[in-house]
A and B are shown apart, each in its own frame.
Chain A
């Protein structure tokens, strides 16, 4: 399972695991989008704690979800990123779209 989805009031938490690349991003994206569609969360939390590798496919993943939740007033929060992933996110300027904590 590349992603486990939990929902709380107004919040969808997507716990990602393993390697996030072009090959795995599609399934992760589909699972998260189903949850967004169903719950319209105010907050979408992407938890990277279990992620061992991420390339720019992960950036596309975050940007794509931001584009979905932003129009109805939702926000994206990124949690538990390791150094490697932070470097890629910083390069992409993701901190302008999402809260990274």
Chain B
């Protein structure tokens, strides 16, 4: 599908950047004319994906080199494409990690709902992960309240 616009953002895996990543995506999404509710859902999905990178991917090994790379695209059918990539520890069992309420960090009061939130708020969520190499999450959401539907 044709890419109409694209940005890339690389930032340290630091929890202070969770809010930043949400703001960047919501600002970028504005060109697709989303509703307030669509923006809220997209921001929540982004927050979950970025938080996963910070809480899990670089757990115990965080350094200056622990980066998160986010690519955001506007596709021609008024779809928002978001790719969030880390170079952390990877997920040994993606299927298990995506089960609602499963968490490997209960001591941090993680609810185990990150992927469930992403899946419920986005049209598609794809996770690719290689142990010791990192994880890439790709999410798409067609903006229905945008120009195509008016």
Contacts and interface: CB of A to CB of B under 8 A. Distances in A.
Contact of A55 (B51, B108, B109): B51
Interface residues of B, number: 24
Contact of B37 (A56, A59, A83, A92): A83
Chain B CB within 10 A, most for which of A22, A23, A29: A22
Contacts of B22: 53
B111 A56 contact: yes
Interface string A38-77: 0000000000000001111101110110000000000000
Nearest to A90: B120
Q: Chain A contact residues: over half helix, strand or loop, or mixed?
A: helix
B41 interface: yes
Interface residues of A, number: 22
Chain B CB within 10 A, most for which of A21, A55, A59: A55
A23 B19 contact: yes
Given A55-B51, A84-B44, A23 B111 contact: no
Interface of B: 15-16, 18-19, 22, 37, 40-41, 43-44, 47-48, 51, 54-55, 108-111, 113-114, 116-117, 120
